[in-house]
Structure 1
Amino acid sequence: MDVSEIIIPGDTPGTQWRLPVLRFAGRDPKAPNIYIQAALHAGELPGTALLHFLCERLRQAEDQGGILGDITIVPQANPIGAAQSHFGDLQGRFDLGSRTNFNRDFPLISIADRMMLIDDLDDYPATDRLKRQLLHMALGADLVLDLHCDDESLQYAYIDEAFWPEAADLAAALDMEAVLLSDGESSAFEEAVGFAWKYEIPGERQSRLPGKLSVTVELRGKRDVDPVLAKQDAEGLWRFLAARGIVRDEAVTTAAFSGPAVPLDNVEIIRAPEGGAVLFHRTIGDRVAEGEFLATIVTRPGQPDGSIDLHAPQDGLVLTRTSDRLVRRRGDLMKIVGAKPSKTERKAGTLES
């Protein structure tokens, strides 16, 4: 395993950021190569824990000549966000300087222009330098995995329709309980990777990308960071690497993905109509029927008509839930995966900011 660091100068005197990069060299030039990163939202650590244990397995395979394709791993992809705290709370989702989501505003370029990402880096602030260098590394691979997590959540993924159903092997290997088929219309990291491949010929969009994959994996919730889950997920990712011919393991068997795979339009986002204390009646993993009681918002405690009841807009699977119990007006409470499109209109791109 080769370990290097990318140094990112800070925007004020005396500061800099260090980005460790782990590389395993493949023995077979015909094998796919893969780029994996975690904690782009710095407080989302299930992926970092997964990669810690996966690297143990990869080092063993390396000693035995079992690494076939090049593997690049960035286990903590956002040192800038990891250093941000406000009154003791980590603020790793948004850059406090620009108020931009660390997983938005990645450059949308053609793969032909990949090297331009790292030209004249001194012209960019630290957050943009970070994004450009992450994207540059990812575009050198065939397969790209961006490991995130939700708040309280089942295991699921955002996968561009251009990679489906070929990506079902990843969903099966990681025991995902749902796949959300995205439209590729945002500037999030995995969609910026897909954009570069789709527009390999500038101005000409490819709708299918055989042999390629760019995915956001949601590894359950923020609190699901423990050795049992991390080792379980590392084993799942190992199975995927073996099935794709990136590592050698003839004992690995593959299974079929059995969960729902639905467009983002089929996701119902349950929002609080008013602020207050939320009392949940259903939790992640529950299957609910249309009209079923989901939650109560206590808006004016102790007063007549001081609460609001919320009900399921359609049949579906409760995929995520907020861990907050004091919620703001229009705050997201739940995501429910349904079999039909939501009646709520959705703009192209990601579900949330």
Structure 2
Amino acid sequence: MRTQEHPLSAAPVGSVRTLTSLHFGPAGGRRALLQCSLHADEIPPMLVGYHLRQRLAELEAQGRLQGEVVLLPACNPIGLGQQVWGRLQGRFDVASGQNFNRHYPDLVEGALARFQASGQALQDDTAANARALRQCLQAELAARPAASALQQLRHQLMQLALDADVVLDLHCDNEAVMHVYATPQFEAHALQLAECVNAPLLLLAEESGDAPFDEAHSMIWPRLRARLGPAVPLACFAATVELRGEAEVQHELAQADAEGLLAFLAQQGFISGMPATAPAQPCRARPLAGCIPLVMPHAGLLAWRLPLGRTVEQGEHLADLIDPVAGTCTAIRAPVAGLFFARELQRWAQAGQSVGKVAGEQALRSGKLLSA
């Protein structure tokens, strides 16, 4: 294992912030990157990273790693320092109010201009084409200003991931079943990933809004191919893995999740001698635009009637919304037929708040598809 430290120079006066990356296996060839807890208050990914670190060290010692695997065990040092009124606040940067998993830079046009200005031409060798385009992408990223700590963190995370063939961004929801977000161009890879980690749901969208980390990488290559032609490979599969809910911090779950992620890396050629196993359950791919929120008509306490992971019919009674002062009870019903897969951990809701999600089969929404 090789440890690299990446200082963020915009730390407050008198303090130091450093992003740590752990590198396993032979460098210089194919790369996979797994990063944990970009939303720093989502703890389960860091426990999975703890188990991944041990297993990757074992695999490296056994000579079974066939490419470089980069692990970022806690990829958001800014968020980990945001303790507000006794609670970790790791989803938004308190200095700017921005979500740590949004607004990653769009490098395509700048990299394309650099490639064309260099006088290079695409070859029949798609791997060589990917290397040449990655050099332009890295040059374009390096030329972008990054004054604030948040901008520096985004740039450093992208710099590590731009050369990767596989990028897995590990998150968790408030309360949820395991699920995966990916882009339609990589549906086959994403289904393999979902089945390896025992996720019953894959949500697909080409553009979910506000440039999250995974799309900032996965959509580079389809867009370059659209401009330059089929000699451009789809060189990076990037996905977000939602490791259930934020309270699911158990070693047994984390060990199983780590093994599932390693099984996927083995399928992608990064690990030798790991036989494939049959998935424990099938995964359904559904459009992210078919993921419909449960929006509360008034404030009140929530008493859920059905468990997560249930396939529900449109109009099925999911929860009671109770006004304790008025003594009234409103039935909260499924907006569409589909999988009831996520809900808020807090049992008090404000008027207009989204407190849960049902994944339907029809794309019914447009615009920004992710929550804030």
Same fold (TM over 0.5): yes
Q: What is the root-mean-square deviation of aligned Cα atoms in Å?
A: 2.2
1:352 correspondence with 2:371: yes
Correspondence for 1:138: 161
| Whole-Å separation in 2 of the counterparts to 1:146 and 1:54 | 14
| Whole-Å separation in 1 of the counterparts to 2:65 and 2:334 | 48
Q: Is the 8 A contact 1:199 1:205 kept in 2?
A: no
Correspondence for 1:157: 180
Correspondence for 2:150: 127
Correspondence for 2:345: 323
Q: Which moved more, 1:326-335 or 1:244-253?
A: 244-253
Please give the per-residue CA displacement for 1:108-130, whole angstroms capped at 9, x wherever unaligned. 11253323323476x51011000
- Which ranges in structure 1 are unaligned for 5 or more consecutive residues? none
| Whole-Å separation in 2 of the counterparts to 1:308 and 1:205 | 55
Matches within 5 A, 1:106-255: 106-110=104-108, 111=134, 112-119=136-143, 123-186=146-209, 187-200=211-224, 203=227, 210=234, 212-253=236-277, 255=279
1:41 correspondence with 2:61: no
Q: Is the 8 A contact 1:178 1:259 kept in 2?
A: yes
Per the TM alignment, residue 249 of structure 1 is displaced from its structure 2 partner at its CA by 1.6
Q: Specify whether residues 237 and 58 from structure 1 end up closer, same or farther in structure 2 by C-alpha distance, changes over 3 A only.
A: same
| Whole-Å separation in 1 of the counterparts to 2:294 and 2:343 | 9
Q: Is the 8 A contact 1:25 1:67 kept in 2?
A: yes
Q: Specify whether residues 125 and 321 from structure 1 end up closer, same or farther in structure 2 by C-alpha distance, changes over 3 A only.
A: same
Per the TM alignment, residue 56 of structure 1 is displaced from its structure 2 partner at its CA by 1.2
SS in 2 for 1:199: helix
Correspondence for 1:67: 65
Per the TM alignment, residue 165 of structure 1 is displaced from its structure 2 partner at its CA by 2.0
Q: Is the 8 A contact 2:205 2:289 kept in 1?
A: no
SS in 2 for 1:200: helix
Please give the per-residue CA displacement for 1:284-337, whole angstroms capped at 9, x wherever unaligned. 1122222211112223x2536x33221112222110011111111221111111
SS in 2 for 1:50: helix
Normalised by the size of structure 1, how large is the TM-score? 0.91
Normalised by the size of structure 2, how large is the TM-score? 0.86
Per the TM alignment, residue 11 of structure 1 is displaced from its structure 2 partner at its CA by 4.6
Q: Is the 8 A contact 2:221 2:234 kept in 1?
A: no
SS in 2 for 1:165: helix
State the one-letter code of the partner of 2:89.
Q
Percent of matched pairs sharing the same residue: 31
| Whole-Å separation in 1 of the counterparts to 2:300 and 2:89 | 23
Q: Specify whether residues 120 and 269 from structure 1 end up closer, same or farther in structure 2 by C-alpha distance, changes over 3 A only.
A: closer
Correspondence for 2:76: 78
Q: Is the 8 A contact 2:335 2:358 kept in 1?
A: no
State the number of aligned residues.
344
